[in-house]
Amino acid sequence: MISAQDVLFYQNKGYLVVPRFFSDDEVARGLQAIAEVLDPSRAERAYEMEPRDPQTVRRIWSPTQKHATFSDLASHPGLLDVIEALIGPNILFHYSKLNMKGPKVGSVVEWHQDFSYYPHTNSDLLTALIFFDAATEENGCLRVIPGSHRRGLCSHEVDGYFRGKVSEVDESQAVSIEVPPGSVLFLHCLTLHASARNGSSLPRRTFLPAYRAADAFPIYFGPHAAHNEPGIRLLRGQRSRSARVEAGLHLLPLAEREFGSIYEVQEGSHLTKDLTAMKTAGYAV
Ligand SMILES: O=C(O)CCC(=O)C(=O)O
């Protein structure tokens, strides 16, 4: 469990790192589950490849629906204890994804706030980034701008359309999240974050289950957000009979064309791509 000081840190900075939260055995089970999901004999190919190296997977969509190890990790009681301390007792599972960040190719993720992709009535949403490998600057660790969640939602548009990235960020404020395997980063949905290309010979595989307070309801139902809703599950506490609403304007992620992942909309490859395979596989941003 975390301390009152940890909760204050999260409230002030918009993130919290718990090093070595999961044991080496749990990490090994996660890596084994990745290998099983990617086994070529499996009929379902629910993943996205690196454009620069079409043999390398960059993203497994909805891993909690593909392997029990991931749904068990996402509902791990110790993890939920931390989440309860950060967003309250009534916790919904929102969606999940797994970023592979492969050696030498692992794609760049540009600066963004997760909330821009799926605005809700309030901002008690967070993602737990569970690192299966050591994360270092060399293999493209996550970078965050501490305190940026307190400055509201930035525009993520280019030429009047949602492109899932913020162009003006003061990178001198950025902190690199370098952690050993098994560590967890709890990330507020409004905290600006990014990661560089993996230039190293080591992978940086990260499982990302996302959560929200039960009284946070989606206010945007475009394709890349609405497909998560059927998978919403109550993990702890009670469902809410009312929506808690934070004042202010919520920008909506109105893209020029539907997209399958954060990578595509940031790169602009969604403007030309055939998205049929992603729609059938149940993708997540
Ligand atoms: O794994 C990363 O480097 C970035 C994760 C992220 O921001 C995302 O997938 O939305």
Q: How far is the CA of 276 from the centre of ligand 1 (A)?
A: 23
| pLDDT at res. 283 | 55
% of the chain at pLDDT higher than 70:
96
Tokens standing for residue 178: 């370098």
Which atom of ligand 1 is closest in space to residue 193's alpha carbon?
7
In which band, very low, low, confident or very high, does the pLDDT at 185 lie, cut at 50, 70 and 90?
A: very high
Q: Is 142 in the pocket of ligand 1 (CB under 6 A)?
A: yes
In which band, very low, low, confident or very high, does the pLDDT at 280 lie, cut at 50, 70 and 90?
A: low
* Backbone φ, ψ for residue 109 (5° rounding): -120, 120
Looking up tokens 């020029």 gives 256
* Beta strand pairing call for 91-99 and 233-236: antiparallel
- pLDDT of 30 strictly over 70: yes
| pLDDT at res. 278 | 59
Enter the pTM of the model. 0.95
Closest by CA position to 274, among listed 255, 262, 260: 260
**Residue nearest (by alpha carbon) to ligand 1 atom 3:** 195
Q: Is 98 in the pocket of ligand 1 (CB under 6 A)?
A: no
> Which positions ≥6 away from 117 have C-beta within 8 Å?
164, 224, 225, 253, 262, 285
Q: Is 128 in the pocket of ligand 1 (CB under 6 A)?
A: no
Tokens standing for residue 221: 């139902």
For ligand 1, mutation pick of 112, 178, 195 (most atoms within 8 Å of CB): 195
Average pLDDT, the chain: 94
Q: How far is the CA of 195 from the centre of ligand 1 (A)?
A: 7
| pLDDT at res. 46 | 82
| pLDDT at res. 76 | 98
Domain boundaries, the chain: 4-278
- pLDDT of 180 strictly over 90: yes
Domain 4-278 sits in CATH at 2.60.120.620
Q: Is 187 in the pocket of ligand 1 (CB under 6 A)?
A: no
Per-residue 3-state assignment (H helix, E strand, C coil) for the chain: CCCHHHHHHHHHHCEEEECCCCCHHHHHHHHHHHHHHCCCCCCCCCEEEECCEEEEEEEEECHHHCCHHHHHHHCCHHHHHHHHHHHCCCEEEEEEEEECCCCCCCCCEEEECHHHCCCECCCCEEEEEEECCCECCCCCCEEECCCHHHHCCCCCEECCEECCCCCCCCHHHCEECCECCCCEEEEECCCCEEECCCCCCCCCCEEEEEEEECCCCECCCCHHHHCCHHHCEEEECCCCCCCCCCCCCCCCCCCCCCCCCHHHHHHCHHHCCCCHHHHHHCCCC
| pLDDT at res. 282 | 56
- pLDDT of 178 strictly over 70: yes
Q: Is 281 in the pocket of ligand 1 (CB under 6 A)?
A: no
Q: How far is the CA of 254 from the centre of ligand 1 (A)?
A: 20
Summarize pLDDT for 191-247 with one digit per residue, the tens: 999 999 999 999 999 999 999 999 999 999 988 888 889 999 999 999 999 999 998
Four-residue CA torsion sign, 186, 246, 92, 264:
negative
Q: How far is the CA of 242 from the centre of ligand 1 (A)?
A: 31
Strand partners for 185 = 17, 129
| pLDDT at res. 92 | 98
Judged by average pLDDT, the poorest of 43-52, 119-128, 178-187, 226-235 is 43-52
| pLDDT at res. 248 | 84
Which atom of ligand 1 is closest in space to residue 99's alpha carbon?
1
In which band, very low, low, confident or very high, does the pLDDT at 285 lie, cut at 50, 70 and 90?
A: low
Q: Is 107 in the pocket of ligand 1 (CB under 6 A)?
A: no
Closest by CA position to 64, among listed 38, 93, 39, 91: 93
In which band, very low, low, confident or very high, does the pLDDT at 279 lie, cut at 50, 70 and 90?
A: low
Which atom of ligand 1 is closest in space to residue 142's alpha carbon?
3
| pLDDT at res. 165 | 98
Q: Is 206 in the pocket of ligand 1 (CB under 6 A)?
A: yes
Q: How far is the CA of 109 from the centre of ligand 1 (A)?
A: 6
Summarize pLDDT for 90-139 with one digit per residue, the tens: 999 999 999 999 999 999 999 999 999 999 999 999 999 999 999 999 99
* Backbone φ, ψ for residue 4 (5° rounding): -60, -35
- Mean per-residue pLDDT for 60-74? 96
Q: Is 195 in the pocket of ligand 1 (CB under 6 A)?
A: yes
Which atom of ligand 1 is closest in space to residue 140's alpha carbon?
3
Q: Is 109 in the pocket of ligand 1 (CB under 6 A)?
A: yes
Whether residue 266 contacts residue 64, with contact meaning beta carbons closer than 8 Å, is answered with no
Q: How far is the CA of 241 from the centre of ligand 1 (A)?
A: 32
| pLDDT at res. 40 | 86
CA distance 64 to 44: 14
